Amino acid sequence: MADPIKPAAPAAIVQTAPVTMPAFTKEQEAYIQQLVIQTALSVQQSLAAANTGPKRTNHNTKEQCIVCRQVKAACKGEHTKMVVYPTKYPEYGTYFTGVKINDVVYYSFNENYNIEVPTACVSTIINVINAFEQNEKTVKMGRNKTHNSGSIGKHGKGFTKAEAAWR
């Protein structure tokens, strides 16, 4: 069986002599008061100078639309349902990461899933998706370098220009 816990003895209170302020002359007291006033004024002036700079507005403090998560002034409450996913070549959808506008990512989970986007951004989203699909198509198919050195006809008549291009 454990020993019962015993309460601690009360701490002894130590009596000390009261602290007395050193005696200053009237000139010393006036000088100290002037120093305190000057310090307080300089602190007040530096705080006032720090607060007079240009006010910065944080876009996070502006009201945000609950439908599209953009600032309400940007979307103006106008939204359109659309698919934000490669629809022309849905096989490239596994590599699609969505369209990011003002740190908001718009992304449909497949080619049949409609989401709300700001109406003002519809053409931008379509252009990004088209560029993505075209780029994926180009990368998947690869490119070949061709070179046509041209030709000259009989007796030096007629010629075709030399070409070098990526196709």
pLDDT digits (tens, 9 = 90+) for 126-155: 999 999 998 888 887 766 666 666 666 677
Average pLDDT over residues 8-33: 74
Q: Which domain holds residue 134?
A: 86-141
DSSP state of 55: P
Q: Which of the two residues, 101 and 45, has the higher pLDDT score? A: 101
Widest CA span in the chain: 126
Report the alpha-carbon distance of residue 98 to residue 108 in Å, rounded.
8
Residue 155 forms part of a structural domain: no
- The whole-number pLDDT of residue 106 equals 94
Q: Which of the two residues, 60 and 94, has the higher pLDDT score? A: 94
Residue 127 forms part of a structural domain: yes
Determine the number of helices (DSSP H) and then strands (DSSP E) in the chain.
3, 8
For residues 141 and 133, is the Cβ–Cβ distance under 8 A? Answer: no
Residue 53 forms part of a structural domain: no
**Taking Cα atoms as reference points, which of 133, 141, 38, 51 lies closest to residue 95?**
133
Model confidence at 108: pLDDT above 70:
yes
Report the domain count for the chain: 1
Residue 33 forms part of a structural domain: no
- The whole-number pLDDT of residue 9 equals 65
For residues 97 and 85, is the Cβ–Cβ distance under 8 A? Answer: no
Model confidence at 86: pLDDT above 80:
yes
Residue 64 forms part of a structural domain: no
pTM beyond 0.85: the answer is no
Q: Which residue has the tokens 């049949």?
A: 112
Q: What share of the chain is helix, strand, coil (3-state, %, to 5)?
A: 40, 15, 45
Residue 72 forms part of a structural domain: no
- The whole-number pLDDT of residue 125 equals 94
